[in-house]
Amino acid sequence: MMSSSRMLLIMILGAFLLLLSSLDLLVQVVEAQGSWEVVVENAGIASMHTAVTHYGTVVLLDRTDIGASQLPLPNGECRNDPNDETLTYDCTAHSAVYDPASGTVRPLFIQTDTWCSSGQFDADGTLVQTGGDNDGFSKIRTFTPCAADGDCDWVETDTPLQNGRWYATNQRMPDGSQAVIGGRSCDTVEYVPSSGAPVYIPLIANTNDAQNDNLYPYVHLLPNNQLFIFANRDSILFDWTTNSVVANLPTIPGEPRNYPSAGSSAMLPLSGFNGWTDAEILLCGGSTYGAFLNPAAALPASITCGRISPLDTAPAWAMENMPMRRNMGDMLLLPDRNVLIINGAGNGAQGWGNAQNPVQTPVLYNPNAAAGTRFQTLTATDIPRVYHSTANVLPDGRVLIAGSNTHQFYTLTGYLPTELRIEAFSPPYLGGGAEPAITDPPAELAYGQAFAVTVAGGNPLFIDLNLLNPPYSTHSFSQGQRLLQLETAVPTDAGGGAYTVTTTAPPSSVIAPSAYYMLFAVSDGVPSYASWVHVG
């Protein structure tokens, strides 16, 4: 019979092991919330507009009328601009290209003012950049990317916008053009390249208010070839082929949602498993009306999200609460088809000095979970990111965070100083298991083309192939963002721990406007390093 002292010792040892197990579980849970790393201590500029090219490099872009930046132009080059309201002869850069592989930042030359402008990638991977302030108001600029060791730079085209645009939104269209929609005192849509005169959109005019809460409208290309356009609290279905309003959708409850009240929006992933027919729009955050007009009041941000299926016969907003109030949040579609909400503030609105109470805790939203269980809070950053900050998914699955400048000029001290550091956030899926790898990615895909890839590693019962379109991130909205889940057959054993996954490319340019996409293999929620694939 076991002695009482020995039994007591075993009980104590068991309790100790249980405690260690609990602590280990706690550590695992904490580690599963994601991690942060400062990847550039001083980029020289605060990126107001950010986009990832198909070379894996990142275009950083600020405005030009802020005076000197901290990034010199090379070889004694200077910008001579008599229209600049701050510094007409400027030998510093206001755009740059960052290479995540080497950590280097190369200055770029931009001539006209890109303050609060818009952009989108063309089918060939060229970044088209439109509008801005002052001498940039009617400008169209292009950046054709190159390898990290190249010397590609901005080109200011001779063809102007028909309507000058400031705070507009771009959307790449199925015919290869870009729709440029809205802007301050601009209630039209025009197409680049031009296909006729600009067309009046009543929604943009009717949703204006004393704060101009109709700026940077949320625009999504739906799988029926119509545009979902949202401004302030209202939205429409717009037939871009006839330039006509098809339907007026219900008003979302709650606060204004667009600039300067600044919520964010994303179209949830489209899936080949349901024939690409289901489209849902998610919209989260915003500001109490009056926050922009009376910034000293520090009015609370919105806590609500709305979700709508705009192509339903009777579309309606389904509302739910975020874990915390937030405006100026960036909403990103992640490779695993979840949504990341990151950056922002809990009080105030967009604008110089209007934001207070930075929200430094990202939130993960699972669109496939039951209502009430969709949100998960993640690891907080030490760096506030509020007005003029950006967020972009990198090919390795990390999220690049840049910018934040609540001041008219670069102000590197005091409350919420201009932020020149660049961070990378690793979501919970990184480090959570063995990463799969695509060993034979296609370089080109035609619409409807059947193809197969070999995926090394991962669980053959749970391998997804997802295409992610790199957007143009600015002012809490990722213009052109799109994620497509390909319909896959059951993987077959390719030997050596690898599996062959057979699938079919998206059927048309309505589902996948021609462009470069990041192709991710995702196994048990863990994404591979992306392969760049040109679709169309």
Reported as a single tens digit per residue, the pLDDT across 221-238 is 999 999 999 999 999 999
- The CATH superfamily assigned to 437-535 is Immunoglobulins (2.60.40.10)
- Would you place residue 5 in the very low, low, confident or very high pLDDT band (cuts 50, 70, 90)? very low
Q: Where in the chain is the domain with CATH 2.60.40.10?
A: 437-535
User: pLDDT tens, 18-32?
Assistant: 333 333 323 333 334
Token digits for 156? 């200011």
- How is residue 382 written in tokens? 């030490």
How far is Cα of residue 306 from the mean position of the Cα atoms in its chain? Answer: 18
C-alpha closest to that of 168 among 132, 207, 200: 132
pLDDT for position 395:
98
| 74 preceded by a cis bond (ω within 30 of 0) | no
Question: What pLDDT shows up at residue 391?
Answer: 98
d(CA 222, CA 513): 11
Amino acid at 297: A
Would the pTM of this model clear 0.85, i.e. be above it?
A: yes
Distance of CA 409 to the CA centre of its chain: 25
Tokens of 389: 């900050």
Q: What is the CATH number of domain 35-426?
A: 2.130.10.80
* 75: three-class secondary structure by DSSP: helix
Partners of residue 178 on adjacent β-strands:
172, 192
Residues of the chain with CATH 2.130.10.80: 35-426
CB 361 within 8 A of CB 382: no
Q: What is the pLDDT of residue 459?
A: 83
The DSSP element (H or E) to which 199 belongs, if any, is strand 199-200
Say if residue 4's pLDDT is above 70.
no
pLDDT at res. 321: 98
- pLDDT (0 to 100) of residue 8: 34
Q: What is the pLDDT of residues 328-367, one digit of tens each?
A: 999 999 999 999 999 999 999 999 999 999 999 999 999 9
Q: How many residues does the chain have?
A: 536
Looking at residue 27, what is its pLDDT? 30
Q: What is the pLDDT of residues 431-440, one digit of tens each?
A: 867 799 999 9
Per-residue pLDDT tens digits for 459-493: 877 899 999 999 999 999 999 999 999 999 999 99
The C-alpha atoms of residue 9 and residue 72 are separated, in whole angstroms, by 69
pLDDT for 467: 98
Mean pLDDT of 81-95: 95
Q: Do residues 349 and 262 lie in contact, with contact meaning Cβ atoms separated by under 8 Å?
A: yes
Alpha-carbon span 396 to 47, nearest angstrom: 21
Average pLDDT, whole number, for the chain? 93
Instruction: Say how many C-beta atoms besides its own lie within 10 A of residue 214's C-beta.
Output: 26
- Give the number of other CB atoms < 10 A from CB of residue 432: 16
